[in-house]
Structure 1
Amino acid sequence: MGRTEYWNDPQAPKANSLVPACGVLAVNDAGEILLQRRRDTGQWALPMGKMEIGETPTECAIRETLEETGVEVEVTGLLGIFSDPGHIVAYTDGEVRQEYEVTFLARPTRGLPTANDEASDVDWFTVGELAELDIHPSMRRQISVYVDRGGPHID
């Protein structure tokens, strides 16, 4: 399913759903941040996905990270809750979502970054390397909360 992201765009379609999503900003012992390159947009992003009925936000974040990156993580804290009505995601099936993301801090416990059907590439990056990557502004905002030590962030 394809998707188009809008960021404070007056031409964005109106949201028709609000779905809780959870993810992590994982940092390894070298201080590098784990990112995946999304197959649907081609942009680099934190691992994140839709919460399933019967799981906690933490369980969702751990599951999504493993599914999207091949890396198992342990949650160590809360980066923030991000719900900006100006961030709209439109899917080809007609769903138009307003952002609602709970992002945790985490550390890797095992596994290696591995491409899969959701991510064409997965890797660890230093903060200095991030400027060169195509990262959506909503993800940059979340990463900057970590880099600037401004968390936890709550919208």
Structure 2
Amino acid sequence: MGRIEYLNDPTAPKANTLIPASNLLVVDEAGAILLQRRRDTGQWALPGGAQDIGETAAQCAVRECLEETGILAEVTGFLGVYTDPGHIVAYTDGEIRQQYENTYIGRPLSGQPTVNDEADGVRWLAPADLDTLDIHPSMRQQIGDYLSGRYPYLG
């Protein structure tokens, strides 16, 4: 399923859903951050996705990380709640979501970066290398909040 992301774009379609999602910002012992390159947008992002019924937001973040990157991680902290009404994600099936993401901080436990149906690239990246990548502004904000120590973010 394809998607287009809009950020403070007056031409963005009107949202028709609000779905809780969780991201996991995983940092290894060297300070590198785990990112995936999304197949649907080609942009690098934190692993994350929609919460399933029967799981907590933190469990969702761990599950999505494993599914999208091959890395099993544990939650070690909370980065923030990101709910910008100006961040719209339009899917090809007609669903148009307003952003609602709980973003956790984690550390890896096991696994190796692995590509899959959702990600055609998975890498550990040093913070100094992030500026060279195509990263959506909403992800840059979350990573920037972590790197600057501005958390928990409750916006």
**Shorter-chain TM-score range:** over 0.9
- The number of residue pairs the alignment matches comes to 155
Equivalences for 1:85-104 in 2 at 5 Å?
85-104=85-104
Equivalences for 1:4-153 in 2 at 5 Å?
4-153=4-153
Q: Structure 1: any 5+ residue segments left out of the alignment?
A: none
Deviation string for 1:3-60 (max 9, x for gaps)? 0000000000000000000111000001000000000000000000000000001110
Partner Cα separation in structure 2 for residue 5 and residue 22 of structure 1? 17
User: Does residue 3 of structure 1 match 2:8?
Assistant: no
How far did 1:123 drift? 0.4
Code of the residue aligned with 1:31 in structure 2: it is G
> Alignment identity in percent?
62
Partner Cα separation in structure 2 for residue 117 and residue 17 of structure 1? 24
Partner Cα separation in structure 1 for residue 118 and residue 26 of structure 2? 18
RMSD of aligned Cα (Å): 0.4
TM-score of the two chains, using structure 2 as the length reference: 0.99
TM-score of the two chains, using structure 1 as the length reference: 0.99
Q: Structure 2: any 5+ residue segments left out of the alignment?
A: none
How far did 1:152 drift? 0.6
